[in-house]
Copies of this chain bind each other. A is one copy, B any other.
Amino acid sequence: MKTKLSLLAFASILSVQLCLAQTNEPVVEDFKPSTLNQPGQQYPQVNSQRRVRYRIVASQAQSVSAGRTTLTKGEDGVWVGISQPMDEGFHYYHLTVDGGTFNDPSTLNFYGSTRWESGIEIPAHDQDFYALKDVPHGRVQQVLFPSKLTNSIIARPAYIYTPPDYDKDTTKRYPVLYLQHGWGENEYAWWNQGRANLIMDNLIAEGRTKPFIIVMTYGLTNEGPGPGARRGGPGSGTNTNATVAAASTNSPGRGPFGGARGGANPFTGAAAVFEKVLVGELIPYIDSNFRTLTDQPNRGMAGLSMGGMETKIITLKNLDKFSHIGLFSGGTITTNDVNNTSSFREKVKVVFASCGSRENPGNINANHAALNSIGLKNTAYVSPDTAHEFQTWRRSLREFAPLLFRD
C-alpha cells in the first residue's frame, strides 16, 4: 500500500508542467556561450534574461526546433532561434530536425529521459556553491562491483566520491551516503548534472559539513537477458565513460520504471530487485573496499524523484542499516510511516524532504508540520523558482549534507 501510494505520488510529480515565463520584453543582446558547449563552440548562448539562442547548421533541412523553440532558417541557410526565459540551472533538451530526434552537435550530452540528451546551463544567482574553486578537491572514481543478483551481469558500475584528504590519512574511516538519480537518468547524473562532488568540496572547505563518502549507482535493474551482443562481450561498455557505462551495463530504455516485465506494479518489482543489489551487494562491496564506518549511524540514503521513492522504500525496510533519509522531489516520510515503522524514532537521525517551488511545496510544508505535530524533528526545504530539475536537487544536497553524521 505504501509503495502504491509512492507510485501515485511519483506519477503526480511527473505530471508537473514546467511553467516557462512568457515575456514580450525585447531581447537583450548580451548572449554568452553556454558553459556546457563542446570545446570551441560558440552556440547555444545564454543571455541575462535567461534566454537561449540556438544556432544549427542544416542548410537543406525543412524544419528545425530546439526544445520548445522553433528555429528559423536565415538566408545563409543557418537555423537560429531564441527561447523564452528559462529557470536557472541545468536543463536537458534535444533537436527535432525534419522529423528526426538529434542532439545539438555543439553541446555536451547528459543521460536523462533514458537517452543521452543535450544539456544547457542557465547561470544562477547562487551558482557559487557548485562552482569549481581553488579548494581541496575530492575524487570521483568508478568501481565495477560484482553482481550475481541481476541477469548475467558480470559487474555493475558505481561512482564513488571520496572527500579531500581521503588518501592522506589512510587510517581514517568515513560515513557513507548512498545517493540516487531519477527516472531516465543513471549513475552519472549526480556528479555531472548535479555537481555533487563540487558541492561537497565547497561545503567541506567552508567547514559546513563533515566529510563523507558518496556512492552513486544505477537505480534500476532492467538489463534483462536482452540482446546477447549487448552484454558480456568486449565493447559491452561497462568500461564506461559517461557514455559507455550507461549504455551497456544498464539499459534504462524499457519503459518508465524499467524491467516492466510481468509485474502489476513495475516500480515495486524494480525497487525490490534494486534493494537486493544495493543492500546485498553494493554496501558489502563498498564497506570492504573503502575505508567506511560500517555501522548504521554512519550510513544514509537520499535520492531525487524516483530515487527518493527508492530511498523511502529501501530505508524503511532496512532501518538496521540506514539512519539518515533524504527525499528530493521524491515524496515524504509521513506520520503514518513514522508510526507504522518499527523503531523509527530510535533509528532515524535525519528526515529531510524537499522540492522546487514550482512543484508541490504545499505538500512538503504540510508534511513538515504534521511530523512536527507528532514531535518528529525533520527538515523541509523548498528551492525558490525552480521546478522538477537539477537546480532543485543541487540546492537540496547543499541543505541536506550539513545535517548528516553530526555526532
Q: Which residues of A contact B (CB under 8 A)?
A: 32-42, 46, 56-63, 77, 90, 94-95, 97-103, 105, 108-110, 114-116, 119, 121, 123-124, 127-128, 130-134, 137, 139-144, 146, 154-155, 167-168, 170, 188, 191-192, 195, 197-198, 227-230, 232-244, 246-248, 250-254, 289-291
A144 touches B137 (CB 8 A): yes
Residues of chain B within 8 A of A102, CB atoms compared: 95, 97, 102-103, 105
Residues of B within 8 A of A139 (CB): 141-144
* Given known A141-B142, A192-B244, A234-B130, contact A229–B105 (CB-CB < 8 A): no
Among B97, B123, B253, the residue within 8 A (CB) of A233 is B123
Write the nearest CB–CB distance from A111 to chain B, whole angstroms.
Answer: 9
Closest to A234 in B: B127
- Tell me whether B116 and A99 are in contact (CB under 8 A): no
Asked if B167 and A289 sit within 8 Å, CB to CB, the answer is yes
User: Contacts of A142 on B, CB cut-off 8 Å?
Assistant: 139-141
**Contact present for B140 and A155 (CB under 8 Å):** no
How far is it, in angstroms, between the C-alpha of A124 and the C-alpha of B238 when the chains are bound? 17
Which of B32, B115, B191 is A241 in contact with, Cβ under 8 Å? Answer: B191
What residues on B are CB-neighbors of A94 within 8 Å? 105
- A105 contacts B98, C-beta separation under 8 Å: no
Nearest Cβ on chain B to A160's Cβ, whole angstroms: 8
Do the beta carbons of A60 and B252 come within 8 Å of each other?
Answer: no
Contact A250 B39 (CB under 8 A): yes
| B146→A35 contact, CB < 8 A | no
Give 9 nearest A-B pairs by CB, closest first: A40-B253, A141-B141, A58-B100, A241-B242, A127-B234, A121-B235, A242-B242, A108-B243, A35-B235
**Which of B46, B97, B192, B252 interacts with A97 by CB under 8 Å?**
B97
**Closest B residue, CB atoms, query A78:** B100
